[in-house]
Amino acid sequence: MTAAGDLDGRVALVTGAASGIGAATAAHLAARGARVFATDRRAGGAIFRHDVTSAADWEQAIAACVARFGRLDILVSNAGTAGAGPIVDLALDALREQARVHVEGAFLGMTAAVAQFRRQGAPATGTIVTVASVAGMKPIMQTTAYGTAKAALIALSRAVAAELQAAGEAIRVHAVCPGGTRTPMTEALFDDAYWADPANFAEVPLRDYCRPEDIAEAIAFLASADAAALAPAALAVDGGWLLSNRI
């Protein structure tokens, strides 16, 4: 288990850090000793404005991170968007938007981060953690576009990990896959009554939803030396959602 101080001296860039899982992860990594560069489409305070679908924004974000802290060791590719609805009502633009943010955005981040890792030394070292979803591992009703994009993100993470390992580089790539997690993004899809009703989680072994801090803890583990021997993973943090009949 990770502990305070185990990420001392490491520099982490966390996207989508203004709220939810991103904000919890930024706080968690900082508590572990990391120096955190937080980005989001919504700039403000310590948050750097960053649209993950823009290659230019990625260059600027990483350059600003390196200018502030001198290097980059960890990328948490968390920024995302959500939508829900039956497939018969799904517009093609909705599918494309999910792919643009979750797949293209992560791809741009990975390539930019790997380039920075390589500039810092050979063999290149670093860790990338993408935030996918159990919706990318099993069908979940009303999430066709979102789940399709997250499945592609898991595949992308595994492929990049395999390619970098084959090249002899010490860059680890993992995907963390949250189950139902209450965040501002999911609260916009499901009202307070949904989250308050135990019946909605009765088929999940945990019998509850996840909190952003649960996901942040898993990300901190994957970013730490404790996970050094872990093969490229799609780590479900879902209270048992994958084991349930819940769809």
Q: Supply the mean pLDDT for the chain.
A: 91
Cβ atoms of residues 39 and 72 within 8 Å: no
pLDDT tens-digit profile of 2-48? 466 689 999 999 999 999 999 999 999 999 999 999 999 998 889 99
Average pLDDT over residues 108-113: 98
205 falls within a domain: no
Q: What is the pLDDT of residue 212?
A: 93
Q: Is the dihedral of CA 182, 183, 188, 189 positive or negative?
A: negative
- In this model, does residue 94 exceed pLDDT 50? yes
Record the pTM: 0.92
189 falls within a domain: no
- In this model, does residue 147 exceed pLDDT 50? yes
47 falls within a domain: yes
Q: What is the pLDDT of residue 141?
A: 76
Q: What is the pLDDT of residue 156?
A: 97
Cβ atoms of residues 135 and 195 within 8 Å: no
Among the listed residues 227, 191, 220, 205, the one whose alpha carbon sits nearest the alpha carbon of residue 26: 220
Q: Provide the residue range defining the domain that includes 121.
A: 11-182+211-237
What totals of helices (H) and strands (E) does the chain contain, helices first? 8, 7
Cβ atoms of residues 137 and 182 within 8 Å: no
Average pLDDT over residues 144-163: 94
103 falls within a domain: yes
Distance CA 247, CA 225 (A): 35
Q: How many domains does the chain have?
A: 1
194 falls within a domain: no
Ranges of beta strands (E only) in the chain are 11-14, 35-40, 48-49, 74-77, 125-131, 170-178, 234-237
Q: What is the pLDDT of residue 207?
A: 85
Among the listed residues 175, 56, 74, the one whose alpha carbon sits nearest the alpha carbon of residue 116: 74
pLDDT tens-digit profile of 158-196? 999 999 999 999 999 999 999 888 888 877 777 889 888
Alpha carbon 4 to chain centroid distance?
Answer: 21
Q: What is the pLDDT of residue 1?
A: 45
218 falls within a domain: yes
Q: What is the CATH number of the domain that holds 131?
A: 3.40.50.720
Distance CA 96, CA 196 (A): 32
| Cα separation values, 239 from 143, 207, 244, Å | 19, 8, 10
Average pLDDT over residues 233-241: 86
- In this model, does residue 49 exceed pLDDT 80? yes
pLDDT-derived band at 117, boundaries 50, 70, 90: very high
Cα-flanking dihedrals φ and ψ of residue 178, to 5°? -65, 150
146 given a catalytic annotation:
yes
Dihedral-angle region of residue 45 (phi above 0 means left; psi in -120 to 50 means alpha; beta otherwise): left
49 falls within a domain: yes
Q: Which of 146, 201, 209, 221 is catalytic?
A: 146
Q: What is the pLDDT of residue 5?
A: 66
Of 27 and 199, the one with more pLDDT: 27
105 falls within a domain: yes
Of 177 and 204, the one with more pLDDT: 177
pLDDT above 90: percentage of residues in the chain: 65
Burial zone of 64 (CB within 10 Å; 0-12 exposed, 13-18 middle, 19+ buried): middle
Average pLDDT over residues 150-155: 96
Distance CA 230, CA 35 (A): 24
Q: Which two tokens stand for residue 177?
A: 């896959």
